Every structure is written in C-alpha cells, then in structure tokens.
Structure 1
Amino acid sequence: MNINILAGGPLERLPSFENYKTEEDLWIGVDKGVFTLLSQNIQPYRAFGDFDSVTEEEWALIELNVESIHRFQPEKDETDMEHALNWALSENPKKIRLFGATGGRMDHFFANVQLLIKPLNNNEEISVEIIDIQNKIFMTKPGTYSIQTDSDYQYISFIPISGEVEGLTLKGFKYPLTDCHIPISSTLCISNELVDDSGTFSYKQGILMVIRSNDL
C-alpha cells in the first residue's frame, strides 16, 4: 500500500495524478487538499485539518462526501500535515507521497520538508517524499542507494541537512565523487545528472536531502 497525502498548496504546483491512481494508492486530504481531491474525482479515504482555508460551501461538500474526518482546532502544536503524516506512518505503508506541500508560504514549505526527517529519526524504513510539478524531495540516512534516470526529473542535488556528510561517493553521475566530505554549508552537490540509466550514491555519516528537479 502507498499513501498519497494532498495538502492545500497552489494548484499550479501539482503534478498530474494519473500515475498515482492505482489500487495500491490510498488518498488522504489535508485541509483545502480534501476539496481539491473531490474536485478531481478522487475519493479521500480520510481528511485531516482545521479547515480554516475552505469556504462554508466547500466544507459542506467535504462533510457530505468524506466518511472519516479528523478536524482540529486552529490552535495546536502540530500542523495539519504533521497530523496526517503521523497517521500515515502508523499504517506502515510502502511509500508516502506528499503533494500540495510546496509553493505559497515559505514557512509551510520548510515545515513540510522538515517532516521528511521524521521516519529517519524514528528508525522507520518508510519512504516519504514531496512531489510537485518540478521536484521530488526525500531524505536519506547513511548507506548505499541506487537511483534511476527519470526524464521528468533530470537534475539531482544532494544537500547536507543534519550534521556534516562524510564519505559521499557518487557513481554513474556526470560529476562523480569518491569518499568526499560535504560540510553543511556546501553547494558542491547541486545540479548533478546521471550519465547512465542508473547510478549509486553512498555515504557514512549525516543526513542527506536528495532533490530531483527539472526546468519547466
């Protein structure tokens, strides 16, 4: 099972959902994202949020069409997205995808990016990624990873997030590296590309944010 979570980010930042509407994909709506799912004829399995960004008419439609709604007060310690992600992690899916998590307010964007660290801190082997029309973002802990060519996301960047990254090795890339030290302020690993159908990256210490991007 995969769990797709749609938040209320700008509609123009959303990719096509056609590749994510399979029998394995369960859809969750967050705040305005619930209404967006209904508008695209996707049935939300659950809804999370304080729903302060929807109109009375939109809320009435959500109440009518979604069986399981988790509604919170606006004054709370977790964001609506974090509530939804916590529930998704508890279901132990193969993958969690966050949509509608970029664009608009920068504080919301950085909060959503920060949430990608949560399963790593909890030692959970669940892949969580943010996806929009131009980017895929995910976090990794030390290890060795295979990465495939994707024409929709040509460029690959590696950004140290928690502590300095030690021993970064890139194979199959236009700009390879061998056992490299990457300080947290470094931009050395921005905008790389695969030269083969697949490549690998590995490292020994730190947390890396991996961003796959393309030009629009």
Structure 2
Amino acid sequence: MIINILGGGPVDALPDLQPFDGKECVWLGVDRGVFTLISLGINPDYAFGDFDSVSQEEWELIEKKVENLHRYKPEKDETDMELALNWALTKEPTIIRMFGATGGRLDHFLGNVQMLLKAEQNHLTTHIEIIDCQNILYVKGPGRHQIERLPEKKYISFIPITLDVKGLTLEGFKYSLTNRHISLGSTLCISNELLSSSGTFSITEGILMVVRSSD
C-alpha cells in the first residue's frame, strides 16, 4: 500500500499529482489540502484537520465529498499533518508520500522535515518522503542504500541530521567518499551527481537526509 498525504502548503509548490495516483494509493487530505485534492479531481479517502483554513462553503463541499472525516479542535498538541502521518503509519504502508509540506511558513516546513524521522525512530520499514515541484526529501539510517538516477532531479545532497554521521561512503557519484565522518552543520555533501544510472551510499552510524533537486 502507498499512502499519499496532501497538506495545506502553497499550490504552486506542488508537482503534478496525477502520476502519483494509482490503484494501490490511498489519499489523505490535511486541512486545506483536502479542498485542493478535490479541486484537482482526486477524491480524498480520508481527511484530517481542524479546517480553520477553509471557508464555510469549502467545508460544506468537503463534508459532501469525503466519507472519512477526522476533525479536531484547533487547540491540540500535534499539527494536522502529524495527526495524518501518525494515522498513516499505523497502516504500515510501504511508502508514505507527503505533498504540500513545503513552502509558506518555515515552522511548518521544519516540523514536516523532522517527521521524516518517524519511521527510522520507531524501527518501521515504511519509506517516508516529502515531494514538491523541485525536490524529494527522505532520510536513511545505517546500511547500504541504492539510489537511481532521476533525470529531472540530477542534484543529490546528503545532509547529516544527527550530531554525527559515521562511515559515509558514496559509490558511483561524481564526488566519491570512503568511510568519512561528517557532523551536523557540514556542507561537504551538498550538490553531488550520479555518474551513471545508479549508485550507492552507506553509513555505519547516524541518520542522513537525502535531498534530490532540480534547478
């Protein structure tokens, strides 16, 4: 199962969502993202949020279109996106894609980025990624990981998000590394590229964020 979550981020930062819509996909709308999905011709399977960012007319449409509504009071401990992501993780999907999670408010963006850690922290096999029109973000822990070329997102950066990342090795990249130690705040691994159709990266300790970008 693949779960796609659309948050309330700016619409102009979204990629074309149609290629991500398939038979295996379940769509979750978050707050205004529910209305955005409906507007794009994708009917959400579930909706989460306090819906303080939609008009009364938009809310009435959401009530009409979405069977499974999870409405919360504005005063709560989690963001709407975290509530949706926590629910999605209980279903143990193979992939969770978060859209509408970038742009706009930086506090929401940084909170969403930190949520990429949830699977790693809870020892889950679910792959979580944030996707917008220019970037794909995800995190990986210790091990050896394959990475495939994406012509439309040729730049690949590796950013430490724990205090230390140890044993970083990059194979098949323009700028290779062998058993390097990098610390939080390092820009050593910003803007790399694959030399062929695929490559690998591995670490022995810590957590890396992988950012795949286009200009």
TM-score w.r.t. the length of structure 2 is 0.99
> How many residue pairs align between the two structures?
215
Query: Matches of 2:151 and 2:53 in 1, distance apart?
Result: 35
**1:5 — aligned with what?**
5
Alignment partners' CA distance in 1, 2:16 and 2:112: 20
1:55-95 deviation per Cα after TM superposition (whole angstroms, max 9, x unaligned): 11100100111011000111100110000001100011110
Which amino acid in 2 is paired with 1:182?
I
Q: Which runs of 5+ in 2 are unaligned?
A: none
1:98: which partner in 2?
A: 98
Q: Determine the C-alpha separation between the residues in 2 that align with 1:43 and 1:150.
A: 29
d(CA) in 1 for partners of 2:22 and 2:82? 24
Any residues of structure 2 matched to 1:163-178 within 5 Å, and which? Answer: 163-178=163-178
Q: For 1:20 and 1:115, how far apart are their aligned partners in 2?
A: 21
Q: Are residue 67 (structure 1) and residue 67 (structure 2) matched?
A: yes
Aligned to 1:180, the other structure's residue is in SS state strand
> How do 1:122-161 residues align onto structure 2 when only pairs under 5 Å count?
122-161=122-161
Give the Å deviation of 1:151: 1.1
Report deviation, 1:162.
Answer: 1.3
Please tell me the residue identity of whatever aligns with 1:207: I
* Cα distance in structure 2, aligned partners of 1:114 and 1:69: 25
Percent same amino acid among aligned pairs? 59
Per-residue deviation at 1:183? 1.1
Aligned AA (1:162): T
Q: Which runs of 5+ in 1 are unaligned?
A: none
* Residue 54 of structure 1, CA deviation: 0.4
CA drift of 1:163 comes to: 2.2
Q: Which residue of structure 2 lines up, in the alignment, with residue 44 of structure 1? A: 44
CA distance, structure 1, for counterparts of residue 74 and residue 33 of structure 2: 16
Distance in 1 between residues matched to 2:153 and 2:96, nearest whole Å: 19
- Measure, in 2, the Cα distance between the counterparts of 1:119 and 1:202: 18
Deviation, structure 1 residue 21: 1.1
Tell me the CA shift for residue 18 of structure 1. Answer: 2.0
CA distance in 2, matches of 1:201, 1:28: 32
Mapped partners of 2:68, 2:26: distance in 1 = 13
Determine the structure 1 residue equivalent to 2:192: 192
